Amino acid sequence: MADQTIIVTGGSQGLGLELAKYHHNNDENAVIIILSRSEAKLINACKKICNNTEFSKLEEFDTNKTRLYYHPIDLSNAGKVENLLPLLAKLPTIQKTYLTAGGASVKLFRDYSISELQQGINMNYSSSLFLSHVLLKNELCKHLIYFSSEVSFFPFIGYSSYTPSKTSLKSLVNILRQEFPDCRLTNVFPGNFASEGYAEENLTKPKITKDIEGSSKPISVEACREIIINDINKGYDDITTDFIGWVLMACDMGLNKNWNYSKFWFLQLILGVFANLIIIPIYMVILKYDINKYLRKAQVSDKTKKQ
C-alpha cells in the first residue's frame, strides 16, 4: 500500500471509523482520508485512530507531515462532491474507497415526516452515488466498496425509509459492474452490528419489526469489520456478515438472473431455488398474518385513544 490512498466515508464513527483505524494500523505507508458531515466528530475520530498524534485537514495535504486526513462534507450535496475533484486528483493512487456513510431510521411509514424520508435517501443512496460517480468518471479509484444491507434481500415493515435506498445501491452496483469491468466493485450486506446507529434505530423500531427480526444479537463493530476485510482479501465481492444474511442472499439469488461473487455461491443457487419454490411462499403467508394481526391491534388502540 506504499504511496496509495484509502478513503472512508462515514469515517467519524461506527464501522467507518473501525475500517479507517484498521488500515491506519496495518497499511503503514498508506494515506488514510475520512469524510463525514461533522468536523468535530471527524477530529475526535482522528484522535482515536492515531492516538492523538499528527493528523490534518485534507486541504493541507502533505505526506511529509502526516498520512491521516479528514474533510467535513455533506456527500448528499452533488455540488460539494463535484468540488472534491481537485483535492482527490492530487492524492496518491486511490486504492480503496469505503462508502459506509448512511444510517437507519426505523418507523412505520405514516410516522415519518417528509424531511425524514428525504434524509433517508440522502444518507443511504445519494452519498454513495455522487462520490462514486466522481471517482469512476475520472478513473480515480481502483476498488469501491459499497454498503447495502441484508434487508435489501428481504424488505419488511418498518424499513420504508431505509430499504428502498439500500436496494437501489444493490442495483447500482450490478449496473456499474457492467459499465466498469476494469474496476473492482464490492457490495457488502451487513446484518445487525452494535454501532451507535444501531442503538439509535432501536429507539423508534416498532414491535412488529423487532418480532420479525427475531432474537439474534448484533455482533460487535470490530467483528463486522474483520469479516468484511477477510472476505475482501479472499476475493469475494458480495459479502454478508452473518448466516441469515447468506441465506437471504441465496433466496434473492435462487431465481435471479444476476450472479453473485459470494461464499459458496453454488450452494446459494441451489438453496435459493428450493427456498423460493417451497419455503418462502409458506413463510410469507405466516408473515402476512402476523402483520395484519399487528395492524388490527394498532387500529383498535388508535380508536380507543380517540374516544
Helix (H) / strand (E) element for 118: namely helix 114-121
Name the phi and psi angles at 294, rounded to 5.
-65, -45
What integer pLDDT is reported at residue 1 of this predicted model?
Answer: 52
Write out 225-267 in H/E/C secondary structure.
HHHHHHHHHCCCCEEECCHHHHHHHHHHHHCCCCCCCCCCHHH
> 262 is in which domain, residue-wise?
4-276
pLDDT band at 263 (very low <50, low <70, confident <90, very high): confident
In a domain? residue 301 = no
- Candidates 184, 183, 201; CA nearest to 192 is 201
The CATH number linked to 160 is: 3.40.50.720
Q: Which of 168 and 267 is assigned the larger pLDDT?
A: 168
pLDDT level of residue 256 (50, 70, 90 thresholds): low
At residue 172, what is the residue type? L
| For residues 208-225, average pLDDT | 84
Look at residue 80 and tell me if it is in a domain: yes
Does residue 2 carry a pLDDT above 60? no
Question: Among 117-131, 146-160, 184-198, 261-275, which stretch is predicted with the lowest mean pLDDT?
Answer: 261-275
pTM above 0.85, yes or no: no
Mean pLDDT on 138-155: 93
Residue 252 has what pLDDT?
A: 78
Who has greater pLDDT, 225 or 275?
225
Does 288 have pLDDT greater than 70?
yes
Q: What percent of the chain has pLDDT over 70?
A: 94
Radius of gyration of the chain (CA): 20
Residues 53 and 283: their CA atoms lie apart, in Å, by 54
Amino acid making up residue 32: I
Strand partners, 56: 69
Position 13 pLDDT exceeds 70: yes
Residue 213 has pLDDT above 60, yes or no: yes
Length of the chain: 307
Could you tell me which residues are beta bridge partners of residue 34?
Answer: 8, 70
Highest-confidence segment of 5-19, 194-208, 266-280? 5-19
Give catalytic residues, as residue numbers: 148, 162, 166
Compute, in degrees rounded to 10, the torsion defined by CA atoms 132, 28, 20, 173: 30
For residue 295, being part of any structural domain is answered with no
| Residue 78: inside a domain | yes
User: pLDDT confidence of 304, banded at 50, 70, 90?
Assistant: confident
More confident residue, 217 or 137: 137
In a domain, 297, yes or no: no
Report DSSP state, residue 151: G
Q: What is the total count of domains within the chain?
A: 1
